[in-house]
Structure 1
Amino acid sequence: MDPDFWLFAAVGFAAQLVDGALGMAYGVISTSVLLSLGVSPANASASVHAAKVFTGAASGASHIYYRNIDWRLLALLSGGGVLGGVVGAYVLTSVPGEAVKPYVVGWLFLMGLVILYRAWKQARPKVFSWRSPFPLGLVGGFFDAIGGGGWGPVVTSSLLGAGADPRKAIGTTNAAEMFVAIATSAAFLGSLLSGHWETAGLRGLMWSLAGLIAGGVVAAPLAGWMTKVLPLRILTWIVGVLVVGLAIWQGVGLL
């Protein structure tokens, strides 16, 4: 078995454990690692979203079991996220990888700062009222597709900043992410089949993708339990420092 499988199984396990517990960071962590290994932004985002289909399903089932879901919020977030994800995937596949990579790295750096802010203040920036979840999902889905990560930092942070119940916000955001990932992955596949997006190297990422899926699916049930019972401020600090550090490392490489 390819060594990449075990490396990315570990990355997928850690990323899903954090994402399922905090409501953010699976895409940010996974995409940061892929970009640091030289994968193009479009390939990284396509791979991470394909993995999210499976990890999101497992995570959503876990949160349903622990009753961490607000069903009305789930429907509206998913609707906006699906639309935003499809548009974001189309935009990303329309731009050369080297041209968009600095912006993707900058976005990941910003997401790392948002996570650190959350740990420091135990407060979240209020982007939209949680009573208007469709536009929040639209923005979150778009930037998630563009950057390969961002759904959780945008959506979960905004919901919590607006006063939503933490368990419901985290659980519902994780469950909605599955629908966003399905739509975004379909958009990437449609772009590839239609000739809109011509890429190379996706075949070489198959073992990495399998590892991300396997590690994430194994971690999902544990993450749902962590959301219910554990204080997570220290974990938030660790994730923020990791993401900011990876973004700085990639930025230095680009310069």
Structure 2
Amino acid sequence: MWLVAAFALAGGLAQLVDGTLGMGFGVTSATVLLALGVAPATASAATHAAKLPTTLISGLSHWRVGNVDKAVLVRVAIPGAIGGFLGAVVLTSISLVAAKSGMAALLLFFGAVILVRFGFGLRIIPTPKSGHTARWLSPIGLLGGFVDATGGGGWGPVVTPSLMTVTSHEPRKVVGTTNAAEFAVAVSVSLGFITGAAHQDIPWLPVLGLVLGGVIVAPIAARLAGRLPHAPMGVMVGGLIILVNSIVVLAAVGDLPFVVDLALMVAWLLFVARLARTAWHKERAERAAAATAEPVLV
């Protein structure tokens, strides 16, 4: 029972981040499962099994509060589902060693994407600069779905900043649309893993915990979208994802002495804490300036 409760807490925190930032549930859940020794294809299958109810509730919650653009939703969700299915099939067809290292490296990259995005205001993933145009939506969805399946997460880090670039929507509507479209991707990826038989070894107790925590928090996160301090949350999530997956990547390259590992871990946590604090103060100042700004007369 404690295992379910622990994963429910993790799922709730991951969904709070995902529902407010538009990214985080998949990469966080897959990182935890991979660190526990779950096989990559199984970790991704388990993550997407947990996403089925959580993304459904999250999408409906965002829909109810007006955070979803229906036209963008359809144009992103359908190619996202196609890319997700293809990614699941690819992941189940490669060797276990290659898959584990590859997934850890991909999650490490997305951790860096999140950290740099919210800690420094920069975007690692290049996005189109042509304004609100529909022709970019399908490629964005296709790429997001594929990397989401092969990495166990990645839909949000790819799609959310891209939609913020190619649409004129405010952040809460981009987050809501991304969360709603993710349900279609989760269904398609799950079907892909069933085809590849990766579902047979899924650790269902952790999945149950992730589902319970995610479903409970999803409606709350939808209402809090745009209100919670995004920057420090993104920095802390990205920093933890980098820490856990860098351990996996370094272990594949070669073992370091325990003292060195510990020193690097402490130094990294101190850096992330300092960066999160700086990002929090900067965001507070920006919100205060926006709140006191005089309205523009037109």
Query: Aligned residue for 1:177?
Result: 182
Find out whether 1:94 has 2:93 as its counterpart. yes
Distance 1:211 1:164 in 2: 37
2:191 is matched with which residue? Answer: 186
Task: Quote how far apart the aligned CAs of 1:123 are.
Answer: 4.5
Tell me: CA distance 1:76–1:162, structure 2 relative to 1, closer, same or farther (3 Å). closer
1:254 to 252, 261, 282: 252
Paired with 2:69 and 2:126, the residues of 1 have a C-alpha distance of 19
Q: CA RMSD in A?
A: 1.6
5+ residue gaps, structure 2, are 254-298
Which residue of 2 is the match for residue 140 of structure 1? 144
Structure 1 equivalent of residue 80 of structure 2: 81
**Alignment of 1:69 onto 2:68:** yes
C-alpha displacement at 1:163, in angstroms? 5.4
Distance, in Å, in 1 between the alignment partners of 2:61 and 2:122 is: 26
Report which of the two structures shows the higher radius of gyration computed on alpha carbons: 2
Deviation at 1:26?
A: 0.4
Contact 1:25–1:239, Cα closer than 8 Å, also in 2: yes
- Opposite residue 145 of structure 2, the aligned amino acid is G
- Alignment map for 1:150-161 (pairs within 5 Å): 150-161=154-165
Aligned to 2:104: 105
- Checking the alignment, whether the CA contact within 8 Å between 1:123 and 1:161 is kept in structure 2 is no
Structure 2: distance between partners of 1:48 and 1:164: 31
Whole-angstrom CA distance in 1 between matches of 2:207 and 2:78: 26
Residue 116 of structure 1, CA deviation: 1.2
* CA distance in 1: counterparts of 2:164 and 2:213, whole angstroms: 27
The answer on 1:201 being equivalent to 2:201 is yes
Q: Which amino acid aligns with 1:35?
A: L
Q: Which moved more, 1:113-122 or 1:45-54?
A: 113-122
**Separation (CA, whole Å) in 2 of partners of 1:212 and 1:159:** 27
- The sequence identity of aligned pairs, in percent, is 43
Write the letter of the residue equivalent to 1:218.
I
Q: TM-score, normalised by structure 2?
A: 0.79
CA contact (8 A) 1:126 1:159 kept: no
Partner residue, 1:230: 228
CA deviation vs aligned residue, 1:105-128 (integer Å, no higher than 9, x gap) = 111111011111111333434424
CA distance in 1, matches of 2:47, 2:161: 21
Query: How many angstroms apart in 2 are the aligned matches of 1:120 and 1:142?
Result: 26
Equivalent position of 1:127 in the other structure? 127
Instruction: Return the TM-score normalized by structure 1.
Output: 0.92
Q: Secondary structure at the match of 1:229?
A: coil
Range 218-227 or range 128-137, more displaced:
128-137
1:68–1:200 distance in 2 versus 1, CA, 3 Å: closer
Which ranges of structure 1 fall in alignment gaps of 5 or more residues?
none
1:212-247, Cα deviation, whole Å (9 max, x unpaired): 100100110111111142331111111111111111
